[in-house]
């Protein structure tokens, strides 16, 4: 059972962290640079490909499997695992992973949906965005950029603690 949990934890964690790093470093800046033309890309990514849903589900499974392994290790060690350097490192990584889930649910998901909807409205209109739509797009992009950077920084801490925790 622990092998399956570890495999799920690592594989889905790689997708989750990689997606966050990709969004922060490449996707959000590219969509911003594209201006109104980025709207259809966001609509495709968010509404058709359902990237935020996959990211949240994979993140949730990653967190659940990680907590399951953490509590199992703590249980079989009579509580000493949580007090070990490795246990504390994994615990810190768990906290930052959970905080990343909060960022995804509070900032990234809702604003991605707003961006996709706005892009669809602009595309349906068939012309350039109105000044109000342009201003709204900039505000949403600012929130997405902030959320993507915050999530990727939190996940960087998570990845580092998970990678090094065993050796502490």
pLDDT in tens, 99-157: 999 999 999 889 888 887 887 788 788 878 889 998 998 899 899 889 999 999 999 99
- 22 has pLDDT over 90: yes
User: Which band of pLDDT confidence, cut at 50, 70 and 90, is reported for residue 87?
Assistant: very high
Query: What's residue 150's pLDDT?
Result: 96
pTM here? 0.89
Give the C-alpha distances (Å, rounded to integers) separating 1 from 34, 70, 78, 90.
47, 13, 20, 19
Dist CA 121 CA 66 (whole Å): 40
Give me the number of domains the chain comprises: 1
Query: What's residue 31's pLDDT?
Result: 85
Give the ranges where the chain is alpha helix by DSSP (H).
2-22, 28-34, 38-43, 51-76, 80-83, 85-103, 109-125, 131-164
> What integer is the mean pLDDT of 48-55?
89
Of 153, 119, 155, which is closest to residue 136 (Cα–Cα)? 119
Query: What's residue 116's pLDDT?
Result: 78
Domain span at 105: 2-167
Query: What's residue 47's pLDDT?
Result: 82
Query: What's residue 83's pLDDT?
Result: 96
> What integer is the mean pLDDT of 16-42?
87
Query: What's residue 81's pLDDT?
Result: 97
């Amino acid at each position: 059972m622990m092998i399956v949990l570890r495999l799920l934890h690592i594989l889905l964690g790689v997708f989750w962290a990689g997606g966050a790093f990709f969004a922060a470093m490449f996707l959000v800046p590219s969509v911003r640079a594209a201006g109104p033309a980025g709207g259809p890309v966001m609509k495709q990514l968010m509404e058709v490909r359902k990237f935020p849903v996959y990211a949240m589900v994979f993140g949730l499974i990653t967190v659940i499997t990680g907590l399951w392994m953490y509590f199992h290790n703590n249980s079989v060690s009579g509580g000493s695992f949580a007090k070990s350097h490795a246990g504390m490192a994994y615990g810190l990584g768990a906290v930052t992973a959970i905080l990343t889930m909060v960022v995804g649910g509070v900032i990234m998901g809702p604003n991605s949906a707003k961006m996709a909807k706005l892009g669809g409205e602009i595309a349906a209109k068939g012309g350039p965005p109105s000044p109000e739509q342009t201003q709204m797009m900039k505000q949403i992009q600012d929130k997405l950029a902030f959320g993507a950077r915050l999530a990727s920084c939190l996940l960087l801490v998570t990845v580092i603690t998970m990678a090094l925790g065993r050796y502490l």
